[in-house]
Amino acid sequence: MEKMNLNKHISGQFNAELDDIRNRVLAMGGLVERQLEQALDALAGLDAELAKTVIDGDHKVNGMEVAIDEECTRIIAKRQPAASDLRLILAISKTITDLERIGDACVRIAKAAVDKRAKSQEPLLVSIESMGRHATRTLHATLDALARMDAEQAFELHKEDAKLDKEYEGIIRQLMTYMMEDPRSIPGVLDVLWAARAVERVGDRCKNICEYIIYYVKGKDVRHTSYEDMEKDLHQ
């Protein structure tokens, strides 16, 4: 009896630890989402002050990555989790890497907002803003799927990335035309182009996180899998 209580107690602590890293990864996601919103606001309003806030805030994102990863390793070593608990921890450990990289993308977007050359290309920033809002919605929905560990939503979002890619290609074409029409604009337009690329990368990162959610829920690694096979795995 006493042993049973002890086991229960230990498993209660273990569950609390798992809840804790889940909450921490969601907090990190919330921070990254705010960084992305502010970076896009800074770019849209060419607000150097706000851009600086984003750039200065990146170390917090980095710190969270290292701290959560350390905690993941500690839990694996101490609790020796199996099956779905282990998958959860490994999925979290991979998710935070992608969140940190989204944080880096935010810094790149913010840097374009303080760049004097990009400022001369103000009209071009409108199209990035629209793609940026799309990326923000995708990130928000991805974090939502992560909070609820919703594999169906993760699968739907995974497909969303192709739309962002299309939007990005359209912007690249637009920027190309602009450069050809006015070669003096090239350095400034390239800065805008790097920002657009950073936004597009946010979509790729969200796609990765969706794959980890599906991996956790379904116990199956769906990276490099076609949508058809992925759908079969989801509904079998």
Residue list 172-211, contact with a second copy (CB under 8 A)? 172, 176, 179-181, 183-184, 186-187, 190
Nearer to a second copy, 8 or 59 (CB): 59
Nearer to a second copy, 44 or 207 (CB): 207
Q: Minimal CA–CA distance to 51: which of 38, 37, 34, 36?
A: 38
Binding residue for a second copy (CB under 8 A) from 44, 94, 150, 214?
94
Nearer to a second copy, 23 or 62 (CB): 62
Nearer to a second copy, 76 or 149 (CB): 76
Closest CB 114 distance from a second copy, rounded Å: 18
Residue list 111-170, contact with a second copy (CB under 8 A)? none
DSSP characters for the chain?
-HHHHHHHHHHHHHHHHHHHHHHHHHHHHHHHHHHHHHHHHHHHHT-HHHHHHHHHHHHHHHHHHHHHHHHHHHHHHHH---HHHHHHHHHHHHHHHHHHHHHHHHHHHHHHHH-HHHHTTHHHHHHHHHHHHHHHHHHHHHHHHHHHT-HHHHHHHHHHHHHHHHHHHHHHHHHHHHHHH-GGGHHHHHHHHHHHHHHHHHHHHHHHHHHHHHHHHHS---TT--HHHHHHHHH-
Please provide the distance, in angstroms rounded to a whole number, between the alpha carbons at the two ends of the chain.
40
Q: Minimal CA–CA distance to 28: which of 66, 83, 55?
A: 66
Distance CA 65, CA 60 (A): 9
Is residue 31 part of the contact set for a second copy (CB under 8 A)? Answer: no
Binding residue for a second copy (CB under 8 A) from 18, 31, 46, 86?
86
Closest CB 128 distance from a second copy, rounded Å: 17
Number of residues that bind a second copy (CB under 8 A): 32
x/- mask, a second copy, residues 34-73, rule CB under 8 A, reads -------------------------x--xx-xx--xx--x
Is residue 80 part of the contact set for a second copy (CB under 8 A)? Answer: yes
Which segment (11-19, 31-39, 107-115, 217-225) binds a second copy by CB under 8 A? 217-225
Closest CB 49 distance from a second copy, rounded Å: 24
Which segment (4-12, 17-25, 74-82, 156-164) binds a second copy by CB under 8 A? 74-82
Q: Crossing angle of helices 2-45/122-148, nearest 10°? A: 170
Which parts of this chain interact with a second copy (CB under 8 A)? 59, 62-63, 65-66, 69-70, 73, 76-77, 80, 82-83, 86-87, 90, 93-94, 97, 172, 176, 179-181, 183-184, 186-187, 190, 221, 223-224
